């Protein structure tokens, strides 16, 4: 029997790609080493207040940052897979300063957790980063809110990844 159901648009993963003029190992390290992450990670204009990382399966990247003239916001990644320098897989969430998962302060139906897969492919000294995210353990309403946020996330990650591009150019 053939499954004729159409895919639910709410289950479409969020995907962003960017090419960096840097070797794959350096781009990978920029996502796994604290001395790099604190210099570029986060929305444009935010200031990193604190950050710790244990880049190993089961380890976490826990960070807090401050919005310009706004409140402090924290997030964390819990690493599932690390295949240096090809791929990172982690669960991403907003959290409190102690790392307890928390709701998005401006979007009550935002998924609590997102499974993120980052792939790094090098060609001719440049690295293509592909980031893919999909809500996990989310309600249908949360999946719809996530899908509706794809365009906004594209814009946000464009700024964040531009910060990474600028940072890599200084190394």
Asked whether residue 80 is assigned to any structural domain, the reply reads yes
- Indicate the DSSP class of residue 107: B
Whether residue 5 lies inside any domain: the answer is no
Pairing of strands 72-83, 60-66: antiparallel
Does residue 8 form part of some domain? no
Q: Give me the domain span that covers residue 136.
A: 13-169
pLDDT of residue 91: 98
Return the CATH number at 19.
3.30.530.20
Q: Which contacts qualify for 131-134: CB closer than 8 Å, 24 or more apart? A: 131/14, 131/15, 131/16, 131/17, 131/157, 132/13, 132/14, 132/15, 133/13, 133/14, 133/15, 133/92, 134/11, 134/13, 134/14
How many residues are listed for the chain in this entry? 171
Per DSSP, the three-state class of 121 is strand
Please give the pLDDT value at position 99.
96
pTM (2 decimals)? 0.92
Domain presence at residue 111: yes
Residue 46 lies in a domain: yes
Per-residue confidence (pLDDT) for residue 11, from 0 to 100? 81
Cα–Cα distance for residue pair 23/89, rounded to 1 Å: 20
Q: Provide the domain count of the chain.
A: 1
pLDDT number for residue 71: 86
Q: Is residue 72 part of a domain?
A: yes
Q: Is residue 154 part of a domain?
A: yes
| Residue 6 included in any domain | no
Residue ranges for the chain with pLDDT beneath 70: 1-10
Looking at residue 70, its pLDDT comes to 85
């Amino acid at each position: 029997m053939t499954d004729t159901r159409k895919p639910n648009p709410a289950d479409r993963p969020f995907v962003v790609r960017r090419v960096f003029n840097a070797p794959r190992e350096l781009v990978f390290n920029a996502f796994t080493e604290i001395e790099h992450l604190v210099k570029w990670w986060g929305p444009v204009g935010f200031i990193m207040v604190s950050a710790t990382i244990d880049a190993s399966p089961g380890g976490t990247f826990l960070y807090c940052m401050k919005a310009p003239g706004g409140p402090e916001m924290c997030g964390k990644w819990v690493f599932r897979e690390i295949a240096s320098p090809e791929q990172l897989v982690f669960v991403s969430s907003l959290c409190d300063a102690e790392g307890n998962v928390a709701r998005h302060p401006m979007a009550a139906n935002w998924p609590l957790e997102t499974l993120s897969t980052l792939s790094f492919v090098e060609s001719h000294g440049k690295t293509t980063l592909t980031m893919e995210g999909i809500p996990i353990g989310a309600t249908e309403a949360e999946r719809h809110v996530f899908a509706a946020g794809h365009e906004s996330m594209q814009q946000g990650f464009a700024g964040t990844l531009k910060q990474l591009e600028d940072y890599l150019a200084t190394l």
